[in-house]
Amino acid sequence: MKKFRKVLDGLSSSSPGGVASPSCGSAAGTPTAHAPTPQDIHVQETLVSENFHICKTVRHGFPYQPTCLAFDPVQKILAIGSRTGGIRILGRPGVDCYSQHESGAAVLQLQFLINEGALVTACADDTLHLWNLRQRRPAILHSLKFNRERITFCHLPFQSKWLYVGTERGNTHIVNIESFVLSGYVIMWNKAIELATKAHPGPVVHLSDSPKDEGKLLIGFESGTVVQWDLRAKKVDFRIYYDEAIHSVSWHHEGKQFMCSHSDGSLTMWNLRNTARPIQITYPHGKILKDGRKESCKPILKVEYKTSRNSEPYVIFSGGLSYDKSGGRRPTLTIMHGKAITVLEMDHPIVEFLVLCDTPYSNEVQDPYAVVVLLEKDFIVVDLTQSNFPIFENPYPMDIHESPVTCTAYFAECPPDIIPILYSIGAKQKKTGYSHKEWPVSGGTWTLGSQTYPEIIVTGHADGTVKFWDASAITLQMLYKLKTSKVFEKPKVGEGRAGELVEEDPYAVQMVSWCPHSRLFCVVGISAHVILYRFSKHDANTQIVSLEVRLQFDSEDVISPSEAENNPCFSDPSSHSPQPPGSPGSGTQDSLPCLKVKNRPVRMPPGYQAELVVQLQWVDGEPPQQITSLDINSAYGLLAFGNCNGLTVVDFLQKTILMCMGTLDLYGAADPYQRLTRSPRKNRQSTSGLTELSDNQVSMDMERSKSPTSESRENSFSRSRSSSVSSIDRDTKESVTTLQFGESYGRKGDALPTACLWVGTSLGVVLLLPISIPTEEEERMEEPITMGPSGTVLMLKGSVLRFAFLDCGGALIQSPYEVWRDPNGPEDPDRPRRRKLVNFSPSSSQEACSDGHLAVVCSEKQAKVILMPTQAVLFTHNITESSFLLRADVVSVCNSVCLACFCANGHIMTLSLPSLRPLMDINYLPLTDLRIARTFVFTNGGQALYLSSPTEIQRLTYSQEMTDNLQDMLGELFTPIETPEAQNKGFLKGFFGGNAQTFDREELFGEAAAGKASRSLAQHIPGPMGLENMKTAAGGVVGDLARARIALDQRGERLGELEERTALMMNSAETFSTHAHQVMLKQKDKKWYQL
């Protein structure tokens, strides 16, 4: 017999809730003699506050609003900057790091210190930052804030410690990368242009050193002026003037000529021997018209001029299409190789592109092998080594946003066989025609961590697709894609009413329910439809069963308890068949669903195959209300869903509707509310909240703030969450907000647990519906199931969000399930297939039936732990008064369980179970838009996720144990690699001036030669080496060096200030001495009486 573990005496009295009396809801019968009392329940709780810590782990997806791109050709890692100040650094699969500038300013440009493990970022707030990449979590070492000039372009020569910075005023400054201070050497714009030129040349748009001579700096101004500046002589070698604005410049590797791209869609080639005019002007996409004029073309925003050892040079550029053609064409990348011109059309505008070359040296033959193209919403790499220029298969999950994400689900500790089987099925869905070469961004190192277990993330999308992702070991890889729209007929133009319900996305996924053990999968769509899928390894040709439900009641009726008793609790399934459109009592739009299910046998490939579709019908000319809750149980063979009108339960084994009841009918005679007359709803549904992609709404529209999983909260951001339940006079309906099947006690007098459906509503009411299911398999398929309200009513403040069940020892009770079997597998005549059920009943035997169990109920405002079957409330905790919860889940952490909550005010909280002691409360994330509310979800193992932007999934952990192990799970960005040696060009080529000339930049730009820059021009800011960064940097020498460097910088600054003060004193003393000497000379020949 199961014994209660009485370990901690007085635990209930020490908890915030204490022991409360049973709820006011009652039913006939009294507790059994063996039922445990609240005093008998003592659970040894092992979780303490030290077990919890919030930490972001990894970010997946495409960087939102990208702005710039950089590549380290030696380390082979790539960086992407974004408009919100984020940096994403990518290497081989598994090496994926996200960092964020605290200022949130847009990243304008990125520059790797090639093979040095460092990165320079230039931001829109005119600040330069130096990032240390030699640690798993990059950190800023230095920052330099420009005060009087705006940064427009940066250039860092290979193996140089001096960074050239061009500004909006046309000046060029030089920054020492090691100390991150400005040199006194400045190239002023008025020195670079001719004195006779009256107009300002515009901002600096290009800087590069000559491949032939590092002492020559090429400066491109926006107006069309290009200047080569001799750094040694501090003068101009030559000036080039062109009528059209310049967008980019690219050198030939020999340093004798360069190419410019212009705003009129032209490319100009210039030779250093004659800079008076270009040696070549081409309009790659502009034709000569009949009247002799050239077609006007769009600007060529960037050009790359790369030489090849075994073929003609490559000229690669973006833009330049004629205005006539570009109207109906997509953005293009053009590859000119000899006389061949290839135009690659892109799905999105091009942000930037980079040509990847074998050598980091600019004065060697470049031999390009790939082009990285950063688009506004995609990221591709083109293989230049093959004549048809195929793209590489992207190993990163950059297509999460292929269609806007509308819902998420997160499953940790899945069955180990589910990921391989989904991957094998999903591999057949992959596209072909990719390059056969290895992915070129292959830097960094990553190993599988020691603490790994199968994890799956499911995302639902606006176009009706559902994607399964392997999320094990903090990576993300696509497993399988399911298109729910294939279940329905394509609506013809002018037909159907899907357009009246939702204008753009009739198939948008609203919520999903998945049982990994039985592999049953259920999808709820925005058009008030539910699709049930079964998994099979074999293809099938089957008819999809369709059921239609009328779930609407007359909103003008005054519902009284006596009327509710007289109303039938059950509806005849035959009444759910659709009425003819012209039948009496219904308009031409009534009794039809929003979408039409295919009514013919459908061939279904291996994977998830649709078995049943349940749709809500139009009633009285009004579209069906969106579904707000869903649960499915494979062991019971039941599917339940609800909305603001009521509850529907479907027997998916017999393909019949078991129950269809209005919310009021669920109470029976136990309705605790005095209800007033309601006016009928006239508003239409919309999916603008589901597919909204805007990311700039800090104070968002309250109508779009509602969670699609709980329509009852449509006014929850604006209206008071009053706990008064004596009179419900709001113009809202009571929605079914959460459902949970499980083994429980439907009535107080029950001695044995039975199958039950727990129902939670938007008014904080908890109802129990006991279910009678035949035990024999043959009877189960033929005999009807009976279920109905038991009259049990429990009350909470706010809308009910979550149910969970614990045994009396505090362990989580899983819902029963059916072991998966392939529905289309070959039949064995000797062994007929039977259903195999796994039951986690709180009472495993007749002898232990008196144990009972604990029910955890969490609403928007409070949580309660209830002892079943006595229904005594053991613990109560008011979670929030001023705000409300958006998400609550009972999860396993550190071999125990807790209640994890995400609040609308941004707090993440955990409560112990069953005592509901607060363990953690951290103000983590302010709720700024609907996307976070819709997608935030907790899972086991102390993990959670949410959509941080329309294109990215942010994962986080609230477990201290995982935080401690995170460093071992992350990839290394920097790998010690020897820098390749420069090629020996031979005696003759070097003798005739083909070799690059080197010079000592320190000699020119150092403080001894150039002096100090004005302190008011830029301000040096040491990196914020706070506690978190100190932890990450303390693991190696890098941290010590960084701290030592900061200390030296601070000391150097103090010494510099002292030196400046000393110099001022010396100057004043010299001035005084000079004046005194002049006075002495003036007065020395005068007599005393002349003084």
Determine what percent of the chain is predicted with pLDDT higher than 70. Answer: 78
| pLDDT tens readout for residues 697-725 | 333 333 333 333 333 333 333 333 333 33
Q: What average pLDDT does the chain have?
A: 81
Q: What is the pLDDT of residue 563?
A: 38
| pLDDT tens readout for residues 47-99 | 999 999 999 999 999 999 999 999 999 999 999 999 999 999 999 988 999 99
Task: Provide the 3-class DSSP secondary structure of residue 1090.
Answer: helix
CA quadruple 569, 575, 579, 583: dihedral positive or negative? negative
On the question of pLDDT at 661 being above 80, the answer is yes
CB 454 within 8 A of CB 468: no
| pLDDT tens readout for residues 820-846 | 988 888 876 655 667 888 876 554 433
Q: CA 862 to CA 876: how far, in whole Å?
A: 7
Q: What is the pLDDT of residue 1077?
A: 76
To 10 degrees, the CA torsion angle through 142, 145, 150, 154?
A: -10
On the question of pLDDT at 543 being above 90, the answer is yes
DSSP 956: E
Task: Provide the 3-class DSSP secondary structure of residue 1061.
Answer: helix
**Confidence grade of residue 516 (pLDDT, cut at 50, 70, 90):** very high
**Confidence grade of residue 1054 (pLDDT, cut at 50, 70, 90):** low
Alpha-carbon distance values, 341 to 344, 433, 639 (Å)? 10, 21, 59
Averaged pLDDT for residues 401-425: 93
On the question of pLDDT at 777 being above 70, the answer is yes
Q: What is the pLDDT of residue 562?
A: 37
Averaged pLDDT for residues 297-325: 91
Q: What is the pLDDT of residue 1078?
A: 75
Averaged pLDDT for residues 500-522: 86
DSSP 811: P
Q: CA 166 to CA 206: how far, in whole Å?
A: 8
Strands 509-515 and 86-90: unpaired
Q: CA 792 to CA 118: how far, in whole Å?
A: 65
Q: What is the pLDDT of residue 839?
A: 78
Q: CA 546 to CA 258: how far, in whole Å?
A: 68
* DSSP assignments along 977-1012, one per residue: -PPPPPPP--HHHHHTT-SPBP--HHHHHSHHHH-B
Q: CA 814 to CA 420: how far, in whole Å?
A: 24
Q: What is the pLDDT of residue 1083?
A: 67
CB 760 within 8 A of CB 739: yes
**Confidence grade of residue 1072 (pLDDT, cut at 50, 70, 90):** confident
Q: What is the pLDDT of residue 929?
A: 75
Q: What is the pLDDT of residue 1076?
A: 73
Q: CA 88 to CA 59: how far, in whole Å?
A: 9
The residue with greater pLDDT, 1049 or 1041, is: 1049
Task: Provide the 3-class DSSP secondary structure of residue 324.
Answer: helix
**Confidence grade of residue 739 (pLDDT, cut at 50, 70, 90):** very high
Q: What is the pLDDT of residue 14?
A: 35
Averaged pLDDT for residues 860-868: 94
Alpha helices in 126-206 (DSSP H): 189-192
Residue with tokens 């069963």: 545
At CA 397, angle to CA 392 and CA 402, rounded to 5? Answer: 95
Q: What is the pLDDT of residue 502?
A: 46
Q: Most confidently modeled of 282-291, 569-578, 750-759?
A: 750-759
On the question of pLDDT at 1046 being above 50, the answer is yes
The residue with greater pLDDT, 1071 or 1057, is: 1071
On the question of pLDDT at 580 being above 60, the answer is no
Q: What is the pLDDT of residue 802?
A: 96
CB 69 within 8 A of CB 380: no
CB 912 within 8 A of CB 47: yes
Q: What is the pLDDT of residue 419?
A: 93
| pLDDT tens readout for residues 142-168 | 999 999 899 999 999 999 999 999 999
The residue with greater pLDDT, 567 or 860, is: 860
**Confidence grade of residue 1049 (pLDDT, cut at 50, 70, 90):** low
Q: What is the pLDDT of residue 253?
A: 94
* DSSP assignments along 456-485, one per residue: EEEEEETTSEEEEEE-GGG--EEEEEEEGG
| pTM for this model (two decimals) | 0.82
Bin 587: left if φ > 0, else alpha if -120 < ψ < 50, else beta.
Answer: beta
Q: What is the pLDDT of residue 495?
A: 54
The residue with greater pLDDT, 582 or 345, is: 345
Averaged pLDDT for residues 974-996: 69
How is residue 598 written in tokens? 């295919």
Task: Provide the 3-class DSSP secondary structure of residue 173.
Answer: strand
| pLDDT tens readout for residues 246-296 | 999 999 999 999 999 999 999 999 999 999 999 999 999 888 777 767 788
Nearest residue to 806 via CA among 741, 865, 757: 865
| pLDDT tens readout for residues 778-819 | 888 888 899 988 876 789 999 999 999 999 889 999 999 999
How is residue 766 written in tokens? 């908890």
Long-range contact list for 719-728, CB < 8 A, 24+ apart?
721/797, 721/798, 721/860, 721/861, 721/884, 723/764, 723/797, 723/798, 723/861, 725/672, 725/673, 725/763, 725/764, 725/795, 726/674, 727/673, 727/674, 727/676, 728/673, 728/674, 728/675, 728/676, 728/763
Buried b (16+ CB within 10 A) or exposed e, 239-267: bbbbebbbbbbbbbbebbbbbbbbbbbbb
On the question of pLDDT at 1008 being above 80, the answer is no
On the question of pLDDT at 589 being above 80, the answer is no
**Confidence grade of residue 862 (pLDDT, cut at 50, 70, 90):** very high
Alpha-carbon distance values, 524 to 466, 498, 639, 689, 713 (Å)? 11, 15, 12, 16, 18
On the question of pLDDT at 677 being above 50, the answer is no
The least confident of 509-523, 536-550, 685-699, 917-931 is 685-699
Q: What is the largest CA-CA distance in the chain?
A: 142
Nearest residue to 843 via CA among 816, 869, 807: 807
